[in-house]
């Protein structure tokens, strides 16, 4: 659905994005993680056709998005800082969106009125930040986009509203195969709804993963042996991290759970434990040195 | 859904109307107030003196000019504000609408917001014309002209604002740069020609400014509307329209290329930033030269002006571009600029193109103009006069030092050569010491060709003259008139003789209190000329008729003349007619009181009203109590004055 190929972008003589590649399949929710200044917003603005990349291609269903209204008609973008026309009420904004997006669904709009419980005859700019964000979701969901692009969307929403909006997103993805690209500087905020994660660091995509694969693929293991630890214990295994605490060896290893258990028990350890791993631990170990650099963004 | 893909969206139109509709309303209110209301007020006021209004621009002219200059720019700023505000820019450009479509729709709304108020005011004027008697103030044709010219000028100014909106990312810079763009052609023309005056000896600066750079800027041109019979010519209208169309396509082209991340950058295109920076530097350099050269003069001050001006321009540009005060560390570009321009000035000094030394060859010259102002129409055509002018020109070129270039004083002299190939060569000089060129000027001024060209009287047939009136010019008012054909024939023939005998020295002597000769022709046209002290034939004839005393101020009007010797040519701290001061000067022996009638007559014939450096001032005490003062220039100091003071 969304293909980003070898995209680079320079802003004001600074390389903001360097050779970024990633793809989002139809009906999936892709989380774009990165600290401030990593280039998330720029990347989203490229995907939504606001900015034009210096190099590379951005394709939506194999079509270029920049200055291409039929493609843009299928995308709705909610920016991190929202803009509403001065003096406009929710109703007037809705009229505007209706005139612009051919996919606008009036019934959906009416239905969502009950979800958000916002007075549509009030001026949007007078609302609080959180209310304005709800209006943005209201309008965006009513436009029935095939692709919803959200830049730091959860900020400023209370927990109840977060839940509601996440539910709405998931529901649209399930019901009509909507594709979602969502950015955040906080993994925990979005890990419950994303099925894919990409980490952008200093303009480069340093990691892209299917979250389910990730969780089942990396394991923390504690082993202890009588006497010396056998040589060549790990064999061909991919070891992300290891540490010896006395006679106990703590390691993080990639691989299938059963395969790993079989591998280690073959050496007859005195202790063998497979421990649960949090998502952020996985990221940090997975990424090695770069992982420590971005540790802060994963909390 | 065809309505979605049509280029005009009702909702966008509403949105425009909600955000910039007020500009249209302000414009309408302003126009209604400025024109129809003013006319109603005038038409209903019985005590109003009749004032002639050239056209509809003459009513509240200042307000109309202000509206024309401000409203379109304001509109372009508010309309395209979405380009300069990051959030708005992101929202608008994330929508499934092409930039050209947004642009066209916004533009059309803007144009409507300009045209509708003008048209509504026009309709009001038409209604007014049919229900009230306003024929004194305007005709239906005036309304048409007013509509056309206002709309065309508005459109061009608006399109300039739109074009600039595409280039910049800040609304404030948009406003500023729009006016720079609009005034640039006229301003840079004046500045360049003024500065070339400093750099090139002989550059005809006054000729260019007299041709008026006003016309090439809509803002300065609009200022002239109220005084013009038909404000805009067809050609001007066509040029304005072409420019507006060019700006339109230019704007679209630039908009398509515009990178939206340039929001809130002073100049949205990085390629244009150096252009902006060095244009500012250049313009301010010229401005510095203009200011210090014009008000102070002198080589040092002009160079000082260039350096200070360019530096200020450069720093301002850097401040705008980087949006910070701290630009003093970015002077590398300025140093490069300064070096390049130092070389350019060097080239001017060495006169690489030979501009300063160029005098057309005799064989190429068709005719030549020479005078102390650039507006005359009479050209020398006789070969010996052309030769004389050429020789004079070469002599001036040969003797002008660098000091001559930068002088703002001195007698102006204009040369205009019309060449046989249709070209013109124009030069202007300020001569410090005109007497040095007397050998060339004298035969030219005394030539028949010159006198025929400058004294219309010489070509007037006596039969055409109805009446001659000679009136005094001074602190007494008298006149004498002649209507008898015999008198007229005699007077004219004497006057013609006097003119033909007039020498260069007489012509250039700016005598004070010349009587005025007015000649009324049968076709009701009038001619005026000065009755100079050198016109002896006329004087003799008047004396014989016993009318001389009525035609000129003479010794009988004066009780005494006081001649005061100046110290070191310094000016006084008091007025010359301060009686107490005169008394003091007399007591000190610094002044001479003249009561002898012949000597007073001599003083009257030789004093001038100039402010030329002189050694003597003269004050006349009239018998009627008036006072008058003047000077004696070097050549016209009466002998008895020199004798008296030299004897001391």
Measured between CA atoms, how close is B7 to chain A, in angstroms?
11
- B91 in A contact zone (CB under 8 Å): yes
* Interval B627-632 mean pLDDT: 83
Q: What is the pLDDT, as a whole number, of residue B403?
A: 43
* Interval B377-385 mean pLDDT: 80
Out of B86, B91, B98, whose CB is closest to A69?
A: B98
Is the separation of the CB atoms in B411 and B372 below 8 Å? yes
pLDDT tens per residue, range B608-626? 876 666 778 888 888 888 8
Report the chain A residue with the minimal C-alpha distance to residue B257: A52
Out of A67, A81, A86, whose CB is closest to B99?
A: A67
Task: Return the half-sphere exposure (C-beta side, CA atoms, 13 A cut-off) of residue B393.
Answer: 27
Report the chain B residue with the minimal C-alpha distance to residue A46: B94
Say if residue A181's pLDDT is above 70: yes
* Interval B64-82 mean pLDDT: 95
Q: Which positions in chain B touch A77 (Cβ < 8 Å)?
A: 90, 94
Say if residue B437's pLDDT is above 60: yes
Say if residue B110's pLDDT is above 90: yes
Q: What is the pLDDT, as a whole number, of residue B406?
A: 45
Q: What is the pLDDT, as a whole number, of residue B7?
A: 64
Decide: residue A12, CB within 10 A, 0-12 exposed, 13-18 middle, 19+ buried: exposed
> Where is B568: in which H helix or E strand?
none
Asked if B421 and B527 sit in the same domain, the reply is no
pLDDT tens per residue, range A239-284? 878 888 888 888 888 888 888 888 888 888 888 888 877 777 777 7
> Torsion angle of alpha carbons B560, B566, B572, B577, nearest 10°?
0
Asked, for residue B192, whether it belongs to a domain, the answer is yes
- B98 in A contact zone (CB under 8 Å): yes
pLDDT tens per residue, range B128-138? 999 988 888 88
CB contact under 8 A, B96 and A99: no
* Interval B2-18 mean pLDDT: 73
CB contact under 8 A, B87 and A101: no
Asked if B23 and B105 sit in the same domain, the reply is yes
Q: What is the pLDDT, as a whole number, of residue B573?
A: 55
Q: What is the pLDDT, as a whole number, of residue B237?
A: 92
Question: Which residue has 């022996």 as its token pair?
Answer: B589
CB contact under 8 A, A79 and B93: no
Say if residue A88's pLDDT is above 60: yes
Asked if B185 and B83 sit in the same domain, the reply is yes
CB contact under 8 A, A100 and B97: yes
| CA pair distance B120, B25, nearest whole angstrom | 11
Most confident of A128-132, B180-184, B250-254, B501-505: B250-254
Give Cα A197 distance to the centre of its chain: 5
Report which of residues A126 and B221 the model is more confident about: A126
Q: Which positions in chain A touch B2 (Cβ < 8 Å)?
A: none
Measured between CA atoms, how close is B349 to chain A, in angstroms?
41
Q: What is the DSSP string of B195-244?
A: HHHHHSTB--HHHHHHH-GGGGSHHHHHHHGGG-SSSS-HHHHHHHHHHH
CB contact under 8 A, A79 and B4: no
Asked if B146 and B17 sit in the same domain, the reply is yes
Say if residue B298's pLDDT is above 60: yes
CB contact under 8 A, B94 and A48: yes
Q: What is the pLDDT, as a whole number, of residue B582?
A: 81
* Interval B249-264 mean pLDDT: 91
Q: Which positions in chain B touch A54 (Cβ < 8 Å)?
A: none
CA distances from B514 to A63, A124, B597, B607 (A): 90, 81, 19, 10
Domains and CATH numbers, chain A: 2-202 (3.40.50.300), 213-298 (3.30.70)
Most confident of B147-151, B267-271, B359-363, B519-523: B147-151
- What is the domain range of residue B593? 555-646
Q: Worst-scoring range by mean pLDDT, B16-20, B63-67, B576-580?
A: B576-580
Residue B518: strand, helix, or coil = strand
Asked if B239 and B332 sit in the same domain, the reply is no
Contacting residues for B402 by C-beta, under 8 A, at least 6 apart: B299
Measured between CA atoms, how close is B92 to chain A, in angstroms?
9
Closest CA to A81 of A115, A132, A35: A132
Asked if B424 and B395 sit in the same domain, the reply is yes
Q: Which positions in chain B touch A129 (Cβ < 8 Å)?
A: none
| CA pair distance B605, B620, nearest whole angstrom | 12
Is the separation of the CB atoms in B19 and B82 below 8 Å? no
Report the chain A residue with the minimal C-alpha distance to residue B16: A85
Asked, for residue B274, whether it belongs to a domain, the answer is no
End-to-end CA distance of chain A: 30
Measured between CA atoms, how close is B19 to chain A, in angstroms?
7
- B88 in A contact zone (CB under 8 Å): yes
Closest CA to B25 of B117, B94, B138: B117
Say if residue B198's pLDDT is above 90: no
- B260 in A contact zone (CB under 8 Å): yes
Report the chain B residue with the minimal C-alpha distance to residue A80: B87
Q: Worst-scoring range by mean pLDDT, A14-18, B140-144, B277-281, B506-510?
A: B506-510
Asked if B114 and B17 sit in the same domain, the reply is yes
Asked, for residue B541, whether it belongs to a domain, the answer is yes
Asked, for residue B253, whether it belongs to a domain, the answer is yes
Residue B534: strand, helix, or coil = coil
| CA pair distance B105, B383, nearest whole angstrom | 66
| CA pair distance A19, A204, nearest whole angstrom | 7
Q: What residues pair up with B531 in beta bridges, in sequence order?
A: B515
| CA pair distance A1, A58, nearest whole angstrom | 11
- B95 in A contact zone (CB under 8 Å): yes
pLDDT tens per residue, range B44-65? 877 766 677 888 998 999 999 9
Report the chain A residue with the minimal C-alpha distance to residue B15: A85
Q: What is the pLDDT, as a whole number, of residue B595?
A: 86
Report the chain A residue with the minimal C-alpha distance to residue B100: A67
Asked if B41 and B132 sit in the same domain, the reply is yes
Tally of domains in chain B:
5
User: What length is written for chain A?
Assistant: 299
Q: Worst-scoring range by mean pLDDT, A190-204, B91-105, B237-251?
A: A190-204
Most confident of B307-316, B387-396, B570-579, B636-645: B307-316
CB contact under 8 A, B18 and A99: no
Say if residue A151's pLDDT is above 70: yes
Q: How confident is the model at residue B3 (pLDDT cuts 50, 70, 90)?
A: very low
CB contact under 8 A, B18 and A86: yes
- Last residue of some domain: B386, B421, B451? B451
Say if residue B197's pLDDT is above 70: yes
| CA pair distance B53, B74, nearest whole angstrom | 29
pLDDT tens per residue, range A36-46? 788 999 999 99
- B261 in A contact zone (CB under 8 Å): yes
Report which of residues A146 and B356 the model is more confident about: A146
Q: Which two tokens stand for residue B177?
A: 């740069």
Contacting residues for B484 by C-beta, under 8 A, at least 6 apart: none
**B52 secondary structure, DSSP code:** -
Asked if B60 and B74 sit in the same domain, the reply is yes
Asked, for residue B639, whether it belongs to a domain, the answer is yes
CB contact under 8 A, B87 and A79: yes
Asked if B446 and B327 sit in the same domain, the reply is no
| Complex ipTM | 0.84
In CATH, what number is assigned to the domain containing residue B480?
Answer: 2.60.40
Q: What is the pLDDT, as a whole number, of residue B64?
A: 94
- A8 in B contact zone (CB under 8 Å): no
Average pLDDT, chain B: 85
Q: Worst-scoring range by mean pLDDT, A176-190, B159-173, B246-260?
A: A176-190
Q: Worst-scoring range by mean pLDDT, B140-149, B576-585, B587-596?
A: B576-585
Asked if B8 and B156 sit in the same domain, the reply is yes
Decide: residue B451, CB within 10 A, 0-12 exposed, 13-18 middle, 19+ buried: middle
* Interval B384-406 mean pLDDT: 73
Mutation for testing the B interface, residue in A14, A60, A67, A98 having most B CBs under 10 Å: A67
Decide: residue A159, CB within 10 A, 0-12 exposed, 13-18 middle, 19+ buried: exposed
Is the separation of the CB atoms in A253 and A260 below 8 Å? yes
CB contact under 8 A, A50 and B12: no
| CA pair distance B353, B503, nearest whole angstrom | 39
Give me the residues of A, 102-131, that contact B with CB < 8 A: 102
Contacting residues for B66 by C-beta, under 8 A, at least 6 apart: none
Is the separation of the CB atoms in A40 and A34 below 8 Å? yes
Is the separation of the CB atoms in B551 and B544 below 8 Å? no
Produce one character per residue of A193-228: b if its CB has 16 or more CB atoms within 10 Å, e if not: bbbbbbbbbbbbbbbebebeebbebbbbbbbbbeee
Say if residue A66's pLDDT is above 90: yes
CB contact under 8 A, A51 and B261: yes
Q: How confident is the model at residue B568 (pLDDT cuts 50, 70, 90)?
A: low
- A255 in B contact zone (CB under 8 Å): no
Q: What is the pLDDT, as a whole number, of residue A135?
A: 94
CB contact under 8 A, A77 and B94: yes
Q: What is the pLDDT, as a whole number, of residue B256?
A: 92
Most confident of B210-219, B224-233, B250-259, B544-553: B250-259
Asked if B58 and B154 sit in the same domain, the reply is yes
pLDDT tens per residue, range B447-478? 888 888 888 888 888 888 888 899 888 788 88
Average pLDDT, chain A: 87
Q: What is the pLDDT, as a whole number, of residue A294?
A: 56
Q: Which two tokens stand for residue A18?
A: 């360097």
Say if residue B569's pLDDT is above 50: no
* Interval B315-330 mean pLDDT: 87
| CA pair distance A88, A95, nearest whole angstrom | 10
* Interval B333-359 mean pLDDT: 83
Q: What is the pLDDT, as a whole number, of residue B572?
A: 59
Asked, for residue B145, whether it belongs to a domain, the answer is yes
Interface A-B, measured as beta-carbon pairs within 8 A, has a size of: 76
Q: How confident is the model at residue B99 (pLDDT cuts 50, 70, 90)?
A: very high
Asked, for residue B357, whether it belongs to a domain, the answer is no
CB contact under 8 A, A50 and B95: no
Say if residue B1's pLDDT is above 50: no
CB contact under 8 A, A51 and B85: no
Asked, for residue B270, whether it belongs to a domain, the answer is no
Q: How confident is the model at residue A299 (pLDDT cuts 50, 70, 90)?
A: very low
Q: Is B521 left (phi over 0), alpha (psi -120 to 50) or beta?
A: beta
């Amino acid at each position: 659905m969304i293909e980003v190929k070898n995209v680079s972008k320079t802003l004001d003589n600074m390389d903001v994005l360097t050779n970024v590649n990633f793809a989002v399949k139809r009906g999936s929710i892709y989380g774009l993680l990165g600290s401030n200044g990593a280039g998330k917003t720029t990347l989203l603005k490229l995907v939504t056709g606001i900015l034009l990349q210096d190099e590379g291609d951005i394709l939506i269903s194999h079509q270029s998005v920049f200055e291409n209204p039929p493609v843009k008609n299928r995308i709705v973008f909610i920016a991190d800082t929202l803009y509403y026309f001065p003096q406009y009420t929710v109703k007037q904004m809705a009229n505007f969106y209706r005139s612009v997006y051919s996919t606008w669904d009036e019934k959906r709009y009416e239905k969502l009125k009950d979800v958000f419980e916002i007075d549509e005859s009030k001026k949007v700019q007078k609302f609080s930040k959180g209310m304005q964000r709800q209006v943005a979701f209201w309008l965006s969901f009513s436009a029935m986009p095939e692709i919803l692009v959200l830049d730091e969307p959860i900020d400023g929403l209370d927990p109840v509203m977060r839940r509601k909006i996440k539910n709405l997103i998931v529901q649209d993805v399930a019901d009509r195969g909507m594709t979602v690209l969502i950015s955040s500087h906080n993994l925990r905020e979005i890990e419950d709804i994303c099925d894919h994660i990409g980490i952008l660091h200093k303009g480069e995509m340093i990691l892209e993963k299917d979250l389910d694969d990730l969780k089942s693929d990396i394991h923390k293991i504690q082993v202890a042996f009588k006497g010396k630890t056998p040589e060549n214990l790990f064999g061909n295994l991919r070891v992300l991290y290891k540490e010896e605490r006395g006679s106990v060896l703590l390691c993080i290893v990639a691989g299938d759970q059963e395969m790993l258990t079989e591998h280690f028990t073959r050496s007859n350890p005195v202790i063998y434990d497979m421990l649960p791993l949090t998502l952020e631990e996985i990221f940090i170990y997975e990424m090695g040195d770069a992982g420590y650099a971005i540790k802060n963004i994963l909390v | 859904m065809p309505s979605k893909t049509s280029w005009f969206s009702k909702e966008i139109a509403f949105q425009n109307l909600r955000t910039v509709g007020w500009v249209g309303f302000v414009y309408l209110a302003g126009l209604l107030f400025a024109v129809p209301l003013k006319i109603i007020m005038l038409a209903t006021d019985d005590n109003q003196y009749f004032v002639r209004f050239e056209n509809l621009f003459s009513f509240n002219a200042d307000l109309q000019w202000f509206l024309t200059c401000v409203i379109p720019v304001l509109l372009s700023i508010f309309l395209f504000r979405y380009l300069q505000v990051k959030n708005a820019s992101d929202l608008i450009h994330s929508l499934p609408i092409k930039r050209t479509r947004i642009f066209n729709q916004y533009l059309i709304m803007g144009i409507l917001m300009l045209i509708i108020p003008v048209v509504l005011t026009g309709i009001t004027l038409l209604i007014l014309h049919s229900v009230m008697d306003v024929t004194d103030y305007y005709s239906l044709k005036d309304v048409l002209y007013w509509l056309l010219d206002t709309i065309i000028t508005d459109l061009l100014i608006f399109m300039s604002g739109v074009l600039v909106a595409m280039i910049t990312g800040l609304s404030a810079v948009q406003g500023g740069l729009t006016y720079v763009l609009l005034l640039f052609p006229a301003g840079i023309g004046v500045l360049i020609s003024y500065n070339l005056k400093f750099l090139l000896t002989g550059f005809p600066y006054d000729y260019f400014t007299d041709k008026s750079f006003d016309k090439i800027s809509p803002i300065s041109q609009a200022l002239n509307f109220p005084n013009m019979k038909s404000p805009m010519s067809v050609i001007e209208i066509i040029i304005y329209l072409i420019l507006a169309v060019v700006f339109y396509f230019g704007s679209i082209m630039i908009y398509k290329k515009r990178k939206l991340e340039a929001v809130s950058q002073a100049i949205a295109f990085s390629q244009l930033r150096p252009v902006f920076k060095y244009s500012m530097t250049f313009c301010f350099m010229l401005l510095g030269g203009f200011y210090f050269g014009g008000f102070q003069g002198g080589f040092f001050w002009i160079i000082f002006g260039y350096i200070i001006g360019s530096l200020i321009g450069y720093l301002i540009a850097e401040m705008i571009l980087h949006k910070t005060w701290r630009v003093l560390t970015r002077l590398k570009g300025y140093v490069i600029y300064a070096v390049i321009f130092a070389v350019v000035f060097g080239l001017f000094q060495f006169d690489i193109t030979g501009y300063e030394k160029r005098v057309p060859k005799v064989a190429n010259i068709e005719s030549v103009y020479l005078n102390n102002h650039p507006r005359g129409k009479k050209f020398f055509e006789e070969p010996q006069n052309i030769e004389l002018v050429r020789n004079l020109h070469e002599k001036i070129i040969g003797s002008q030092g660098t000091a001559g270039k930068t002088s703002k004083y001195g007698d102006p002299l204009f040369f205009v050569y019309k060449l046989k190939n249709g070209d013109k060569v124009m030069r202007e000089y300020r001569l410090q010491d005109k007497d040095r060129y007397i050998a060339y000027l004298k035969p030219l001024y005394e030539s028949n060709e010159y006198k025929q060209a400058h004294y219309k009287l010489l070509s007037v047939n006596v039969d055409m003259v109805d009446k001659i009136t000679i009136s005094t010019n001074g602190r007494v008012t008298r006149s004498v008139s002649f209507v008898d054909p015999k008198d007229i024939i005699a007077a004219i023939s004497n006057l013609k003789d006097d003119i033909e005998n007039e020498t260069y020295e007489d012509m250039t002597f700016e005598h004070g209190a010349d009587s005025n000769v007015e000649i009324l022709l049968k076709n009701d046209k009038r001619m005026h000329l000065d009755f100079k002290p050198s016109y002896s034939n006329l004087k003799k004839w008047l004396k014989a008729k016993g009318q001389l005393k009525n035609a000129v101020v003479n010794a009988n009007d004066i009780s005494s003349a006081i001649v005061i010797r100046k110290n070191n040519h310094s000016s006084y701290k008091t007025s010359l007619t301060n009686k107490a001061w005169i008394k003091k000067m007399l007591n000190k022996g610094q002044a001479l009181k003249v009561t002898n009638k012949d000597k007073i007559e001599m003083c009257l014939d030789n004093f001038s009203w100039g402010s030329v450096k002189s050694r003597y001032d003269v004050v006349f005490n009239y018998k009627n109590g008036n006072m008058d003062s003047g000077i004696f220039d070097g050549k016209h100091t009466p002998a008895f004055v020199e004798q008296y003071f030299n004897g001391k």
